[in-house]
């Protein structure tokens, strides 16, 4: 499958290269190879301009949970467009989809979260969550509780605050980030960060102790919240070891530090329950969600807030005369209507039950990739997983990062027919639409397995060279 063509100005590829500055793209590679134009989608498949069909094994960007042509979502958007294509929620105005969606989200929220606020993206939701923490702490007479702890390898978005929380160099290099209100602590990546001979439970004790040391060093009175993805997605699909979140939660409670659960990927069934917080027993004070909220058909994100936090926010806002935060498109009626239909559809079609029933096969097929020598570690839960490459079998010895092995692997697998995503730490992520069938899981992994022997040979050469 040759995608590297048609880059002259008379072709769409050439016009894209000429006029479109792409997010998260290497401009030199784009200029050389041209963009890949996806033109249609059906279920778990997308088709490109040259009629090549792919399994979308990443649900786009971990988001298109109901697949690429769910008519009910299209109809919900069209109906709402006809009825009221825009209204805002400033100065006490609202619309029916906004009311219905807020009520619905609160009814399914974990840990008794009581009110919903809306933005347009995961990044905006996380920026808003931080402003809410600051506002809440100020309402309690603790304005100095401004620092936010996030975890290394965490991904929380790209706006100024969110990019500072994100602890991946590719989102910070060149921007002079992170801003200094963010403090980073270890991530629970036992495979890579566990010491030789250290058990998983010893690892958990050590990294939670590191967190406590950080809190003591910075001073708990200066720390407002910690933000965590239940399963860390873009950082490498890092699944927390047993007991990790329980210990983390205890430490936060001990020092009166709020927990923000970033459910932008995990929310709405990805880990097998409605929320990653349920899968791992998190008790968030604030929860952010986006992506699968509308199956990514339209941009919308939400922040769910505990009664204590919302009480503080509303009190200070009343004292000041206004809650001075919001977006033109907060609770936009069209994405809100699509999101509401998405949640209803999940119930009508028993999507959570479907994920639970097919997850064991998905986990088994991810696990089976360990048979290949270049795969040092696999991990999966619900319908999210990863394989992590190594240069020397049965070790943690990595291939020289300059080789960009996982990027090459991603390209070969895509040429074979499955779109996946290379992740930091030389890993490849799997995150198919939640509607994937058993046959399609087998089709996806059968296709990936055709490429694995080639990757084994490549890894052997590169690993042997070092
Ligand atoms: C966990 C998490 N939080 C936040 C974001 C940012 O979302 P957005 O790209 O919609 O701003 C992402 C995006 O991938 C994410 O994975």
CATH number of the domain within which 121 lies: 3.40.640.10
Report whether residue 229 contacts ligand 1, using a CB cutoff of 6 Å: yes
Of 331, 348, 365, the last residue of a domain is 348
Residue 124 belongs to a domain: yes
Last residue of a domain, one of 348, 365, 392: 348
**b vs e for 261-295, b when ≥16 Cβ sit within 10 Å of the residue's Cβ?**
bbbbbbbbbbbbbbbbbebbebbbbbbbbbbbbbb
Residues 330 and 363 in one domain: no
CA of 394 to the centre of ligand 1 (A): 33
Residue 226: beta bridge partners?
A: 149, 259
123 C-beta closer than 6 A to ligand 1: yes
DSSP code at position 369: G
Residue 8 lies in a domain: no
Q: Note the pLDDT of residue 3.
A: 46
300, 198: one domain: yes
Q: How far is the CA of 445 from the centre of ligand 1 (A)?
A: 26
Same domain for 200 and 342? yes
Atom 7 (ligand 1) nearest CA: 122
Q: Residue 125 C-alpha to ligand 1 middle, in angstroms?
A: 9
Question: How far apart are the CA of 301 and the centre of ligand 1, in A?
Answer: 10
- Tens-of-pLDDT digits for all 466 residues of the chain? 344 556 678 889 999 999 999 999 999 999 999 999 999 999 999 999 999 999 999 999 999 999 999 999 999 999 999 999 999 999 999 999 999 999 999 999 999 999 999 999 999 999 999 999 999 999 999 999 999 999 999 999 999 999 999 999 999 999 999 999 999 999 999 999 999 999 999 999 999 999 999 999 999 999 999 999 999 999 999 999 999 999 999 999 999 999 999 999 999 999 999 999 999 999 999 999 999 999 999 999 999 999 999 999 999 999 999 999 999 999 999 999 999 999 999 999 999 999 999 999 999 999 999 999 999 999 999 999 999 999 998 899 999 999 999 999 999 999 999 999 999 999 999 999 999 999 999 999 999 999 999 999 999 998 755 4
Spatial distance between the Cα atoms of 370 and 55, rounded to a whole number of angstroms = 22
Find out whether the beta carbon of 265 lies less than 6 Å from any atom of ligand 1: yes
Q: Tell which residue, 358, 129, 151, has the closest CA to residue 236.
A: 151
Q: How far is the CA of 310 from the centre of ligand 1 (A)?
A: 23
**Looking at ligand 1, which residue's alpha carbon is closest to its atom 16?**
265
Counting ligand 1 atoms within 8 A of each CB, the residue from 58, 238, 264 with the most, and so the one to mutate, is: 264
Residue 34 — φ and ψ, nearest 5°?
Answer: 80, 160
- 363 and 449 inside one domain: yes
Same domain, 189 and 172: yes
Partner residues linked to 389 by β-bridges: 375
| Per-residue model confidence (pLDDT) at position 464 | 55
233 pocket-lining for ligand 1 (C-beta < 6 Å): yes
The reported pLDDT for the residue numbered 8 is 75
Residue 411 maps to which CATH number?
A: 3.90.1150.10
166 C-alpha vs ligand 1 centroid, how far in Å? 10
Q: Look up residue 286 and give its two tokens.
A: 């604030």
Collect contacts of 58-62 with beta carbons under 8 A, ≥24 apart.
58/419, 58/420, 58/421, 58/429, 58/430, 58/431, 58/432, 59/292, 59/296, 59/431, 59/432, 59/433, 59/434, 60/296, 61/291, 61/296, 62/233, 62/234, 62/265, 62/270, 62/291, 62/384, 62/429, 62/431
Q: Is residue 21 in some structural domain?
A: no
Give the atom of ligand 1 at the shortest distance from the alpha carbon of 263: 1
Q: Can you give the pLDDT at residue 1?
A: 39
Same domain? 63 vs 150: no
Q: Are residues 320 and 449 in the same domain?
A: no
- 49 and 125 assigned to the same domain: no
Instruction: Tell me: do 315 and 374 sit in the same domain.
Output: no
Distance 255 CA to ligand 1 centre (A): 28
Is residue 212, in this structure, part of any structural domain at all? yes
Task: Name the residue of 59, 119, 122 whose CB sits within 8 Å of the most ligand 1 atoms, as the mutation to test its pocket.
Answer: 122
Total count of domains within the chain: 2
Nearest CA to ligand 1 atom 3: 156
The number of angstroms, rounded, from the C-alpha of 230 to the middle of its chain's C-alpha atoms is 10
Residue 320 shares a structural domain with residue 418: no
Give the model's pLDDT for residue 5.
57
Which atom of ligand 1 is least distant from the CA of 124?
11
Residues 138 and 239 in one domain: yes
- SS3 state at 45: strand
Any ligand 1 atom below 6 A from CB of 262 = yes
- CA-234 nearest atom, ligand 1: 16
Residue of 157, 161, 267 to test ligand 1 pocket, by largest number of atoms within 8 Å of CB: 157
Q: How far is the CA of 156 from the centre of ligand 1 (A)?
A: 5
Q: What is the 3-state secondary structure (H, E, C) of 92-108?
A: HCCCHHHHHHHHHHHHH
Same domain, yes or no: 385 and 307: no
Q: What is the pLDDT of residue 7?
A: 67
Domain that holds residue 131: 72-348
Residue 122 CA to ligand 1 center (angstroms) comes to: 4
């Amino acid at each position: 499958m040759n995608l590297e063509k048609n880059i002259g100005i008379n072709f769409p590829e050439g016009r894209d290269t000429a006029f479109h500055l792409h997010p998260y793209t290497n401009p030199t590679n784009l200029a050389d190879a041209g963009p890949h134009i996806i033109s249609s989608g059906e279920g778990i498949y997308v088709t490109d301009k040259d009629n090549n069909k792919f399994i979308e094994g990443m649900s786009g960007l971990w988001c298109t949970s109901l697949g690429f042509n769910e008519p009910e979502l299209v109809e919900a958007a069209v109906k709402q467009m006809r009825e009221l294509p825009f209204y805002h929620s400033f100065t006490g105005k609202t619309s029916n989809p906004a009311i219905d969606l807020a009520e619905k989200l609160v009814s399914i929220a974990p840990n008794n979260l009581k009110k919903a606020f809306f933005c347009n993206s995961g990044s905006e939701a996380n920026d808003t969550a931080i402003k809410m923490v600051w506002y809440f702490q100020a309402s309690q007479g603790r304005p100095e509780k401004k620092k936010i702890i996030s975890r290394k390898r965490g991904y929380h978005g790209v706006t100024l605050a969110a990019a500072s929380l994100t602890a991946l160099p590719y989102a910070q290099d060149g921007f002079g980030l992170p801003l200094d209100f963010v403090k980073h602590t270890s991530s629970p990546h036992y495979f890579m960060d566990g010491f030789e001979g250290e058990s998983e439970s010893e690892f958990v004790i050590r990294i939670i102790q590191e967190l406590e040391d950080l809190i003591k060093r910075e001073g708990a009175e200066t720390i407002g919240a910690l933000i965590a993805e239940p399963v860390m997605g873009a950082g490498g699909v890092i699944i927390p070891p047993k007991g990790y979140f329980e210990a983390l939660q205890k430490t936060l409670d001990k020092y009166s530090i709020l927990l923000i659960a970033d459910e932008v990927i995990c929310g709405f069934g990805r880990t097998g329950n409605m929320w990653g917080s349920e899968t791992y027993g998190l008790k968030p004070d604030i929860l952010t969600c986006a992506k699968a909220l509308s199956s990514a058909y339209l941009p919308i994100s939400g922040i769910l807030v505990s009664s204590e936090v919302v009480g503080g926010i509303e009190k200070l806002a009343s004292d000041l005369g206004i809650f001075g935060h919001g977006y033109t498109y907060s609770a936009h009626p069209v994405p809100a209507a699509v999101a509401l239909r998405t949640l209803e559809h999940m119930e009508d079609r028993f999507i959570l039950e479907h994920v639970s029933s097919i997850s064991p096969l998905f986990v088994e097929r991810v696990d089976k990739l360990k048979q290949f020598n270049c795969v040092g570690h696999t991990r999966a839960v619900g319908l999210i997983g990863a394989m992590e490459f190594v240069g020397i079998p049965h070790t943690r010895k990595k291939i020289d990062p300059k080789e960009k092995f996982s990027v090459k692997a991603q390209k070969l697998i895509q040429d074979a027919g499955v779109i996946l995503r290379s992740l930091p730490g030389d890993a490849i992520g799997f995150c198919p639409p939640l509607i994937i069938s058993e046959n399609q899981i087998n089709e996806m992994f059968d296709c990936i397995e055709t490429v694995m022997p080639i990757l084994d040979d490549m890894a052997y050469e590169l690993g042997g060279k070092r």
